[in-house]
Structure 1
């Protein structure tokens, strides 16, 4: 592969002990894994062995009920330095909210991680729609979507101004519609550059925000045509903001179950799906669509009246709901089939062999539908071992993925051809 060849970016979304709801029941997992730094460090070392670009750490600053699915309880900004200390090259993307934080304090924490990791850090800027998380920060009512996204754009721009002034001893004076401060970080930029900014732009407002401020964008499209359209929309917003159209790179989510044969992959999925609480997937689909599905016939398509109700609003997010409703309208699957394909819990789901997974990645990449992928693994460590030892070599043989890390920081890695 030539140094200038276009190649895939692969980020691994580490959801506790795995994306499957019953992953915690795996015999490979110790009960305290999600609060054991050793677990996170082992995952980081394994990802680095696979030459992945970055580990993505989501966050929900509200405690969930562990009886159905323990996910993650440690703050990503605590996990990053621990994982970085156990590795040398892999990057880290950590989530922090523009609604629940203040820009000066957060800018300092994030820039500190950029310096401490030697440039291996990126910030996933989210607006937060979770009412329980809001209440943990003393916010009783969820701000309107437009307000949250307007604040997010101003917030990211303010943080970027603080980063740009690091080491200059100059104070940043910001007077905006929602934020006002006079401040400096007081940190010397001993590591050049700045953290990359990541955003998940699924709705129209999200696409606009992503195009205007993000270096990398996570998408939830389920097919190449929709993903390509999303990528073009983000690029158009970037160009309109005076940026290069190709500056924001788009990484669709891809939830994987990997097997040496198609049958093995299917059996692995079915086994762990049946280990979860029996109504788990149905309850998650209810949340995504904003519906009560307790009385639906699983062997028939979702009734038209419920589709119309979902179209009227509600659910996790506008982006997730839009993608799911497009599939329901276009394909009219039975609820049972929809639940199986909802195995990605909002992300595109694929169970198959390493070759089939590489084929899907290459199809999207060659079609201009993706610059890479945000991969969700079913179980840690076994699923990640399958990605590293079986999928990555297929991509390398096809000239689609690196055979060694270069010297670029994470922002530079995202900006490679």
Structure 2
């Protein structure tokens, strides 16, 4: 029988934001090992981890705290940032980097509900990485603050489960914090994307161009993740995603372009499209193409490899209909209603992305006065977006 995880680990595991924070942190910095650890004077325990280095730690696993720099963070109550251990006068001879084999490292304090030191948000990598940029450090410190706030919110919720008004207030504060966090991340991200674009324009050898394209793709992925988190926050705070509709004459072209972009990101998959939209559709073009992008991404991720994904868009009887279908495992009936819930995770599949794409697509459909439905049977799954076309 698997022993129960320590309460500190369970507390962090209960926070839905933590996997997303670790994912965005790894994308932002290039660190291939990031984790949340509970740190005391006598112990260091893994609470949550994203490990691309096969470091081997799982939630609940300990380290000798005296061998870690997190203990130094606890004692100093301050962040530690190292870009390149071998060139760092303070840490180049420290035994910790030699023991764990890293060149770049960051560790940021996390506090519990009482304001006491709880642990750290930390990461490391065998490669030197530029971590000490002020905007990067500020963004990661905001991540640590968000975890602290989440720990506080969850503890208060557990202590005052009957006080529904307090629970609602805490949820609103949490989502407001997510929205602010997304804006703070955008500034350094814009610099990263601009730099990658300049590198590609200047040319250079094949290796440099490959690196620049990788940076750009990673930055664009982070940007999409930020957009999803902000849409989630706006939807919860404002009672739905706000949008402005207008007459759109080129919706078919915009949807076709979205299909091409998804096809270029998945060159080994086949997308078959049938897009026929006569006249003008009253909608928000960017949001409708976002729905298609989210649905296509979902179908390409979870559809059976080697089978085509089908896209159909048309207007019938004053209703705009957009459908995306794929073959693969049939989704159980009891799970269908949960697909549009934010952060919902199917235990039978590994989680990829933030888990917000279908929720946001559904919210966009509602904002257009329509809906998003799913049907799955006999190995065939189809998501259908419908909304009034308002043809003129």
Q: Into which bin does the TM-score normalised by the smaller protein fall?
A: under 0.3
Query: TM-score, structure 1 length as denominator?
Result: 0.26
Query: TM-score, structure 2 length as denominator?
Result: 0.27
Rg larger in structure: 2
> Relative contact order (C-alpha < 8 Å, sep 6+): which is higher?
1
